[in-house]
Amino acid sequence: MQLLNSATRNYSWGSRTMIPELKGEPAAEAPIAELWFGAHSGDPSTVDGQRLDEVIAAAPREQLGARVEQTYGQRLPFLLKILAAEEPLSLQAHPSKAQAEEGFARENAAGIALNAANRNYKDDNHKPELIVALTEFYAMAGFRPLERTLELFKALDCKQLDHYLSMLLPDPAAESENLRALFTTWITIPTAKRKELIAAIVEAGEALIARTAEDGAEAWMARDMRTVINLNEQYSGDIGVLGALLLNHIVLAPGEALYLNAGSLHAYVSGLGVEIMANSDNVLRGGLTPKFVDVPELVKVLTYESVADPRVQQVDKAGAPNVKGAEAWSYPVPIDEFALDRVELGANDEVELEFDGPAIALCTGGSVELEDAEGNTQTLTPGGAEWLPAVEGVVKARAAQSGAGQLFVARV
């Protein structure tokens, strides 16, 4: 059991206040977008001043355990983050494992440096991801069901959209192909024509907002269009503005989560959350960013199946043998690289953390005391994390002096 020091990522879409306020610190001079807790070679965390990836490489069986080492080699298979979005992230998707391996080898062969601005593939891994909201969290994720998009287009009553309605026939069997046809058409129309289309959509959206009651059946349309209009104000005429018109717009309450598999088009808009993903930094961007955009590569990895709601249904773990009085939830996902639990500890509560692989315990509220099998203790405050190697055995977690604590536990 060792204190894990995160790596800090400063991106323009981050926040000067969200992560510092979580940690009880004054506002930062520059936006802080992410804290990384993991062993990705691009920005690994450290334990006792040593890079976590090097610690694992020196003793993989001890750090990862036999099961994880046999499956993933000397690589920690997940990456845990705290993410703070003051402004929208880029419209993006992540590759599958096979796509990542091919793209990584291709860019290596082309001699593109790993830190080059035009590099798409930073590693050879896929990047399915789960995000759990710590504050209200606004995200655009996955293509909205076609029936709902047609409903929105009808309400907009925008003549410039009529030309594209023939691509959106309400046939469930052809929904994916309809969405593919529309999206690929929009990203290939000339810039001037695209800007005219977006301007017309914005005008129609403003009219829709003006006539929509906040508690009416069309309230979701007004909310979505406010976001589309705001995005156009930041990235005028950008392809990503049209992409945003086709996506689910989701507002997560604290504790709620959404899962994104390979190929899912998405963009986080605002909020603070805990994010876990396969150990990768591969991002294919399509717009809403000053960073490198590679639309043809993005289109290659996209999937066009619509999703009604990408939220993850939490599983209540209260009453489990290792959960003693605490409230606890897990977030089931369809991949094996990671699992994430959230624990709310009261004054007399305790949770036993027992695992056969590596884990990271991250405090996001109050204070949490961890105790290993030998009686050694470590107190975590918000933003603090502990590296728990596979050989650690049972670690007990309880609320420390604050009388309450929130803990996320990431494992394989």
Q: How far apart are CA 371 and CA 306, in angstroms?
A: 45
In DSSP terms, 137 is beta-bridged to 252
Kindly report each contact of residues 212-218 with a partner whose C-beta sits within 8 Å and lies 24 or more positions away, as own/partner.
Answer: 218/155
Count of C-beta atoms within a 10 Å radius of residue 118: 11
Type and span of the H or E element at 47:
strand 46-47
Q: How far apart are CA 265 and CA 283, in angstroms?
A: 11
Indicate the DSSP class of residue 251. Answer: E
Q: How far apart are CA 345 and CA 408, in angstroms?
A: 11
Query: 3-state secondary structure string, 144-192?
Result: CCHHHHHHHHHHHCCHHHHCCHHHCCCCHHHHHHHHHHHHHHHCCCCHH
Q: How far apart are CA 31 and CA 20, in angstroms?
A: 10
Q: How far apart are CA 240 and CA 289, in angstroms?
A: 9
Q: How far apart are CA 354 and CA 338, in angstroms?
A: 15
In DSSP terms, 370 is beta-bridged to 378, 397
Q: Which residues lie closer than 8 Å to 249 by C-beta, 6 or more apart?
A: 138, 139, 140, 220, 223, 224, 227
Token pair recorded at residue 374: 């030998």
Residue 61 Ramachandran class (φ > 0 left, ψ -120 to 50 alpha, else beta): alpha
- Residue 285 annotated as catalytic: yes
CB-count exposure of residue 226 (10 Å: 0-12, 13-18, 19+): middle
Count of C-beta atoms within a 10 Å radius of residue 203: 14
Which position among 119, 194, 285, 398 bears the catalytic label? 285
Cα 408 to Cα 66, 100, 342, 348: the distances in Å are: 24, 28, 5, 18
Do the Cβ atoms of 301 and 260 come closer than 8 Å? no
Helix (H, G, I), strand (E, B) or coil at 71: helix
**Which residues are tagged catalytic?**
285
